[in-house]
Every structure is written in C-alpha cells, then in structure tokens.
Copies of this chain bind each other. A is one copy, B any other.
Amino acid sequence: MNIASPDKELSGVDTPFKVDRDRIIAAVDAAFDAQVDFLSGLIRCASLRGQEAEVQNLVEAALRGRGYEVERQPLDSSLIGRHPAFSPTTVSYADFWNVIGVRRPAVEHGRSLILNAHVDIVPTGEPERWQYPPFGPTRRDDWLYGRGSGDMKAGLSAAIFALDAISAAGLELTAPIQVHSVVEEEITGNGAAMALAGGYVADAVLIPEPTDEKLVRANSGVIKFAITIHGTPAHPREVSGGMSALDAAVRLIDRLRALEARWNEERPTKPFFDEVENPAALTIGTINGGEWIASVPSSCRFEGRIGFYPGDDPHERVKEFEAFIANVSTEDPLVQRCPKPIVEWVGVVHAGYTLAPGSDAEALLAQAHAAANAPHGSPLQAYVMACYLDAAVYSVHAGIPSLVYGPVAENIHAIDERVSLSSLRRVTKTIALFVAGWCGVRAAS
C-alpha cells in the first residue's frame, strides 16, 4: 500500500533534504566502492550461530575507527524467563555478544535513533549448489552474492556508511545515534532483547532488513518448537511388534497442517493480515530420526516455526499449540501408539508488532525514500512480513516506533543469496537522509 506521498508537507518534521540532500547523496556515492568492500569483508565471516566473533570484531573495529563509543555487550542468559523480551535458547551464551556503538552530539536537540542490524546468518545448504562460494562474496552485474549478503550484512553496511556520509557531507547529528550490531536474530531474538535490556532505547529504531525498499507495516508473532517422538524400535523381521517414531513424526507433521490452516483462517479479522497468503506459514526446518537403516526407529525429532498475529499473546499460542499436539497424541491411531510427543520451545516465542500508520518516523522515511530516489522512483510502499523481526523487540517491549526498511535481495535463507548493489546504494542514501532528518544536523564543528 502507498503510505505517504513524497510531496506531502509534514508539520513538525525539520527535513534537511533541500539544503543537504545533494551533499549527502554525493558522499554515499563517493564511498560506495568502499562500502561494497566492507560488506564483502562481512560476508567473508561465516557468522553462523555461535561463530559471530570474527564479524563482531570487524564491526567493533569499524565503529571504534570512526570514533564511536563501543560496548561489547555479553548476552545474559539469566534474563531468559525474567525479561519479557527474551525467548528460550538451547545453547550457552558464554561467547555471544552484541557490539553497540554510540555517538552523542555536542549539542543535543533532535530525536535519538537506533540503527539495528543482526550479524548472525543461517547455514548455507550444500555449498556445491551455489554458483559462487557462499562465503566468497562475488559480484556479477548488479548482484553481490553470498550467505548473509541480503540478510542482513548489506543493511549493516548501509547503517554504518549512511552515518559516514553525513560526516563526509560536513554535518554532525544533533541527537544521539546508536548502532546495534546484534546476534541471535535468526533463532531467538535475544541479541536485540539484550540491547534493550541493557538500557539502549531511543525515539525510533530503523532496521535495514532486506525489504525490497519497502517498509514493514507489521510482522508475525512466531513460536519455534522442537518435537521429539519416541517409538518402539524393532527389527524389520517383526515390524508389527515395533512402532516407528519416524512414521509417527511424519503423521504428526501432516496433522499439524490443520493447525496452520486454523490459524490462517483467523486472518480476515486481523488488521493488515487479511491479504497475507499464509500468515501462519508452518515450516518444518529440520528432521532427524532413526539410527540404523534396517531398524524401526526409536526416536525422531523435528524443529519448526509457526506464526500468528500482532496482538496475540505468544504464550497463549504456545498453549494452543501444545493442546493441539496433546489431542493428536490421544486420538491419532498411529501417534497414540507412542508416548506423548515431547514439545520443547527452542527459539523465538515472541509477539508480532504493528507500525501504527501516521507516525512522524514513517512520514520522514517516506520523504527520505522519495528524496533519495528523485526524480525517479515510486512512493514508499508498506507491506506485512510474515516472520519474526528484531523490530518486534523494540516495538512491543519499549514502544519504540520501529522501521524495517532495506535493500532488494533475493534467495535469503536459500541458495545463491544475493543483494542488489544499486538498491543498496539507494537504501544507504535513504537511510542517510532519514537519519539527518530525524536526528537533526548542523555544520560539523
């Protein structure tokens, strides 16, 4: 949907676009090759879960080199179950930390801002199915290939280089700016939760996830589960004496499609979700069962996620999910032959958020988007993203207006993930103009 006309005059928003637009845009252009180099360096770090140290060190050095105050913020797992923004985890957080850079103005009279990006990435799938090595960033025409290129190291580069461009344009911000380089977005959201729990709040947050240069109007609440089923192992010569945990798991996955359908049926009453094709989007992400080719499997475990709507209490959805499994386990002829399936909550258990239309932040982003794309480009569009986003942490638990807006990318979480460099360049400009407008600028001293 079209959320704001680029020509609309906005009261109370002091935009820098007329005087500073060209200088800021020129500064983004001037540094863009360096930005792509920096982004390539980020992609080279295979920052899978638990392996984010290398990329975080790189980000930390980049921020320190630019004069930000930097905190390495360890994740405090004792907050899980105590702070409402945290979700369950199955791993120790001994070696997990956010990098948070802050720059405070000499004279402060604008609005503070957080630019957030996550550095964790998902696995690559079979590397041999990629056209180019997933951790060997490769540029072909407008595309930069690599795992994490779109989701969301490009966005992180946009945040840092947008701020650089403001400085390079001879300007300094008149409100505090924070860069949150967080971990754990892809599984728990506990990186963003930790940033928030550490007291890092602001008047708005912008997260340059790959959104095709659109704004996210709302996202899904999400819960991430693991289900383990035990069967009765047996030798193939007496299969009828056993009960295959694998067969029961396959049946349970099939039955779960009914829960997905039921949750999807609620969408007509849910603001912004009425035209989303599959808001629940039950996804079974992994399955592992059995130990031996010629034995009836004794156990099978699968993991997945399912979504729901902003405003829904995720803990109520957890109860609903568990009740559904319990019911299947008592009435399904196959599943009832196994002990009750064990449901674990292994990642995000979080509400969705909505960006209420009409905010100053959104209006300004629309203006920045238009100004960065002038004289071409279309007005800023907004859409619903049926997945978890760290924006939900800032929005739900701190009421911070949360803008998710970033470059065109393709095949995120898939083979041949890539980001459009022309889009990244535009988005970097939009972010720079937005930051300048939101925080305010003055000539650098």
- Which segment of A25-33, A295-303, A395-403 sits at the interface? A295-303
A333 to chain B, nearest CB (A): 15
Q: In this complex, which of A286, A303, A307 has the most chain B Cβ atoms within 10 angstroms of its Cβ?
A: A286
- Which segment of A101-109, A165-173, A407-415 sits at the interface? A407-415
Contact with B along A97-133 (1 / 0, CB 8 A): 0000000000000000000000000110110010000
Q: For the complex, give the distance between the alpha carbons of A414 and B290 in Å.
A: 11
A30 to chain B, nearest CB (A): 33
Q: For the complex, give the distance between the alpha carbons of A277 and B236 in Å.
A: 12
A253 — nearest CB in chain B belongs to which residue?
B250
A384 — nearest CB in chain B belongs to which residue?
B237
* CB-CB under 8 A for A246 and B287, given A126-B299, A129-B230, A298-B415: yes
Contact with B along A72-96 (1 / 0, CB 8 A): 0000000000000000000000000
Q: For the complex, give the distance between the alpha carbons of A409 and B277 in Å.
A: 55
* CB-CB under 8 A for A187 and B294, given A239-B281, A240-B278, A287-B287: yes
A238 to chain B, nearest CB (A): 8
Q: For the complex, give the distance between the alpha carbons of A278 and B122 in Å.
A: 43
In contact, A292 and B413 (Cβ under 8 angstroms): yes
Query: Would you call A58 an interface residue if the criterion is a C-beta within 8 Å of the partner chain's C-beta atoms?
Result: no
Contact with B along A284-314 (1 / 0, CB 8 A): 1111111111111111100111010000000
A296 — nearest CB in chain B belongs to which residue?
B283
Q: For the complex, give the distance between the alpha carbons of A300 and B125 in Å.
A: 11
In contact, A303 and B293 (Cβ under 8 angstroms): yes
Find chain B residues with CB under 8 A from A239 CB. Answer: 278, 281, 283
Residue in contact with A287 in the complex, picked from B187, B233, B237, B288, CB distance below 8 Å: B288
**What are 9 A-B interface contacts by the 8 Å CB criterion?**
A125-B291, A126-B298, A224-B293, A236-B307, A239-B281, A285-B292, A287-B289, A293-B346, A296-B414
5 cross-chain pairs, A with B, having the tightest CB-CB distances, nearest first = A286-B290, A125-B298, A237-B387, A123-B291, A235-B413
